[in-house]
Amino acid sequence: MLDPQVIVMDRLELPVLVEVVRAETQLTLRLYEDVVDGVSGRHGRISGRAALDPEADAVVGTQASRKFPAPPSTIPAPLLPGDALGRPGRGFLMLDEMLFDLADRDSFGKEWSDHAVWEFRLSPEGRLQSPFNRVVETALAKTAGPWHRARGGHLCPLRLMVPFKAWPLARFPLLVNAHPDLGLIGNLESTGTLPPEAPFLPREQVLPSLKLTGPTAVAPDGAANITVAVVDKDGAVIADAACEVLLEAVAGYLPKARVAVAGGTGTFKVMALGLETGEAVRVKAGLGLFTGLADISIPVV
């Protein structure tokens, strides 16, 4: 079973207060910077903008709700009392805001896929960037996401883990990275924290994997039936898995490159076409844009 975990860690280097609000089909991410003596940026970073008096007539917000980043605002923003944000005795300015709406998922194209990690990255200047499926960036090179973020100098306050693209938002695990002093607000209920010694959350903990089983041998030019199971981190079959498994023949022949899953399992045929005794049929299986979640080798005898 895959639980919709909310894992929180406190490693965000940029001094901002992170707010995450989850609704039925939407995620809203807001960032706030604290204010000292009427100027934002307690640590002398980020925007350094002046704050409007909350009683002033012309109170203008920094950004309207949006789905993608807009140019930085130079308009003075209203001072938000810390009491309203669960931080009494302090003042804040909204630095940035983003709305991610799954009602638009059809417009995401193939980027909206099974077994995906959507990252909401933050520039060193504190600007939210367009969220995207990290697997698109790392699939070809097969390198870890932290390496890519470090190379670009990006920070990541939020990751949306997508086990199956057809599932509702409420079933997607979230990994939130907050600043150790300013923390996290919003309507999420944390189900756990990431230990300091853990560099990142292994995808195997929250995303599905695959298991392939088949016969112990196949005859030259013969065929074998393979069973594929969609499983969780403990190896248990996910009975309500809604996905299509992608297949790749490393050695041998596959009549079909995809197999539909029902009740968490599916079957397909592989043929030892052109293979001789002593060689082996080999098939890899994956989900979405992630290849090689499982593989199987069957000796040709």
Domain extents for the chain? 6-205, 209-299
CATH 1.10.10.10 fits 209-299, yes or no: no
Q: What is the residue-averaged pLDDT of the chain?
A: 83
Which single residue is written with the structure tokens 């417009």? Answer: 107
pLDDT, greater one: 266 or 43: 266
* High-pLDDT (> 70) share of the chain, %: 79
- 65-96 per-residue burial string, b: 16 or more CB within 10 A, e: under 16: eeeeeeeebeebbbbbebeebebeebbbbbbb
Mean pLDDT value across residues 153-159: 82
Report pTM. Answer: 0.83
Query: Helix/strand/coil (H, E, C) string of 99-147?
Result: EEEHHHHHHHHHHCCCCEEEEEEECCCCCECCCEEHHHHHCCCCCCHHH
Residue 213 has pLDDT above 50, yes or no: yes
Residue 66 has pLDDT above 70, yes or no: no
Q: Residue 287, Cα to own-chain centre: how many angstroms?
A: 15
Question: From CA 98, how far away is CA 196, in angstroms rounded?
Answer: 28
Give the pLDDT confidence score for residue 76 in this predicted structure: 54
Q: Which of 17-31, 73-87, 103-117, 156-170 has the lowest mean pLDDT?
A: 73-87
CA distances 80 to 33, 52, 279, 291, Å, are: 10, 10, 69, 47
Give the pLDDT confidence score for residue 203 in this predicted structure: 80
Residue 263 has pLDDT above 80, yes or no: yes
Mean pLDDT value across residues 108-134: 88
Residue 211 has pLDDT above 70, yes or no: yes
